[in-house]
Chains A and B, each alone.
Chain A
Amino acid sequence: MNGKIEYWVKIPIGPIHPALEEPEKFIITLDGERIINVDVKLGYNLRGLEWIAIRRNWIQVLYLAERICGICSFSHNHTYARAVEEMAGIEVPERAEYIRVIIGELERIHSHLLNLGVVAHTIGYDTVLHLSWLARERVMDILEDIGGNRVNYAGNMIGGVRRDIKDRHKRAILDMIQYYRQEVMPKVEEIFLYDPTVEARLRDSGVIPKRIAIEYSAQGPTARGSGIKKDVRYNEKLGVYPDLGVKPVTPKEFTGVVKGDVFDRMVVRVGEIWNSMEIIERALDQMPEGKIKAFPKDNLILVKLKKAEGEGIGRYEAPRGELIHYVRAEKGKDGPAKWKMREPTFPNLFAVARALVGEQLADVPVAIASIDPCLSCTDRVAVIDANTGKRRILTEVDLLKESIKKTKEINPNIKARPERIGIGRCML
């Protein structure tokens, strides 16, 4: 025996794995306990949204965009609406911009509280998970009051917003901010900034240095945790945000050091909740009276957009990072000729895969949870096939036939036809 014995172990995590509740596969090569390679495989839940979108009209895509992700549903249709407004040159009333800011920041608060709970859960602090999600209910209630739903509140319309913020909403939001300032945030800070166990567990794990973060285009809290002062709301001078004192939050303002590890990303999230509350207060204070839509009726939008031609880009800082939507219009077409979106999780996944090299296997769940992965918005098409004795492929029409057959057994009067509505040819 001249030389040491070397063997590597490959461990697949996902598509369905207790440490990762969403369908994504990380193939991790191990040398003992140390990770030497991480490979990411996507596409377990692709939905073909780009293909569906080119068969719909402009307003229908707005609702499709909202269903990309349940947590940042406002962000997605906000970005899409911005892209369409830029393409067609639609001017948005100022009050609508303020309402967009308020709902967007409320959404940021609930998304960050959710992620703080998930990270606490992955290191075994389940009580923190339950309590931070309990605190999150207060924001969800207000969003339900404004939009009618806990998620997918359909707040945006092309050229404005659909629902106004009334005086009772304003009072409820100010009450909520007071409750968060006095009751929730001190406890969250105590756990995530000063608890020695949490610090020992999160410090120096999943480190993304600044150079790597720039190289891999990390976004959002992942980038800011590495010391990159980049925030689309601030860099892009988005909407009325420059009047409201938005700034990129980095861990330096809280702890004085920037390491780019999981702890720093959590510090950024805690800081952003504080910053969001300030922005909401200022927005409620400065919000002018006036109309909330550029068009009084929805069909006028379609008439205007049918004549439009050109391309537009919308960008927005979703809770997880930069969101970018692109639309292209052709004259005489009811809907977009092309719609393409990029979600912040997509580059962040590859950044964290790079950061995991050299770490321990036990740090994988917390490192992946720390980028707040929203895998449903990264995947885009679902392939349906089935094997019943002989090999057979179920198409969408077949599935619809089966479904309608079942409905007819219950109600024979139904007159539905199995028709392809949106899902494209790539669906088999």
Chain B
Amino acid sequence: MTPEEFAERIKARFEDVEVKITENKLPHPRKRVWIEVDRERFKELVRFLKEVDPAAQFSIIIAEDRGDRLTAKYHWEMFWEQGESLSVIVGTSCPKDDPVLPTITDIFPSSLPYEREVQEFLGIKYEGIPDPRRLFLPDDFPEGIYPLRLDETGIKPEMVKNAGHPYRRESR
């Protein structure tokens, strides 16, 4: 399926969605499809991707702090079984004072570690995530501190507990 055909299919199903095709100038021209969708219709679109190609490979979540909004871009590699694959990027966003996005782990289970990473580093809450534990940050890292937010001021000294040896307890 060519990128143009794919964009047509997306536009036929979702009329208000922004679809953009970019091409780079490498020796073999290569096109990518960039889709921008609001968070209410995001999950529907992801489900549609799975319908179009059941073997689509989910690769990455690029989450970012853009001032008053937190954005997340998801990359899929589609139609790899037919040789030349199609690279699709779906972007969505949520306001910073209501940082909630729907989880897609029920459609693409491999997105779970990425969602856990975004959840701890940028504070986007995933609705219905099956395993909300921390992945990278330590378990005693203070709540409500998100290291990759641009307005984050860091950990205050009184928040630090159990510093030093990991097995040292307060009571001893």
Contact = CB atoms under 8 A, between A and B. Distances in A.
Contacts of B57: 214, 217, 230
Interface in B62-99: 62, 64, 73, 75, 77, 80-81, 83-85, 87, 89
Contacts, number: 130
A92 B26 contact: yes
B164 A387 contact: yes
B85 A235 contact: yes
13 contacts: A43-B138, A82-B26, A86-B24, A89-B24, A90-B25, A235-B84, A236-B30, A326-B75, A383-B138, A385-B163, A387-B164, A393-B157, A426-B152
Interface in B113-166: 113, 134-138, 145, 147-148, 152-155, 157, 160, 163-165
A425 interface: yes
| Shortest 7 CB-CB contacts between residues of A and residues of B | A426-B147, A387-B164, A43-B136, A217-B110, A235-B85, A425-B154, A342-B60
Contact of B27 (A97, A235, A386): A97
A50 B27 CA distance: 30
Contacts of A428: 154-155, 160
B32 interface: yes
Given A217-B58, A342-B59, A51 B148 contact: yes
A234 B80 CA distance: 9
A313 interface: yes
Contacts of A42: 135-136
Contacts of B55: 214
Contact of A94 (B27, B85, B136, B145): B27
A19 to B, nearest CB: 21
B28 interface: yes
A50 B80 CA distance: 29
A229 B80 CA distance: 8
A324 B164 contact: no
B60 A242 contact: no
Interface in A196-238: 214-217, 229-230, 234-238
Contact of B135 (A43, A90, A94): A43
B70 to A, nearest CB: 12
Contacts of A393: 157, 160, 163
Contacts of B81: 229
Listed residue (B26, B32, B80) with the most chain A CB atoms within 10 angstroms of its CB: B26
DSSP majority for the B interface? loop
B24 A240 contact: no
Contacts of B84: 235-237
A424 B165 CA distance: 24
A244 B87 CA distance: 22
Interface in A371-428: 379-381, 383, 385-387, 391, 393, 424-426, 428
Q: How large is the interface on B (under 10, 10 to 19, 20 to 34, 35 or more residues)?
A: 35 or more
B62 A235 contact: no
A91 B55 CA distance: 33
A222 B84 CA distance: 20
A237 B28 contact: yes
B113 A391 contact: no
A350 B113 contact: yes
B75 to A, nearest CB: 7
Nearest to B54: A214
A304 interface: no
B154 A426 contact: yes
A385 B58 CA distance: 36
A239 B28 contact: yes
Nearest to B111: A217
Interface string A296-321: 00000000000000001101000000
Given A92-B26, A214-B57, A391-B160, A315 B87 contact: yes
Contacts of B154: 425-426, 428
A10 interface: no
A88 to B, nearest CB: 10
Nearest to B85: A235
B59 A91 contact: no
A98 B169 CA distance: 58
A428 B138 CA distance: 13
B163 A236 contact: no
Listed residue (B22, B57, B77, B84) with the most chain A CB atoms within 10 angstroms of its CB: B57
A236 B75 CA distance: 14
Contacts of A97: 26-27
Given A235-B80, A391-B164, A347 B85 contact: no
Given A90-B25, A234-B83, 4 more contacts: A313-B87, A340-B62, A383-B138, A393-B157
Nearest to B55: A214
A334 interface: no
Nearest to B157: A393
B59 A324 contact: yes
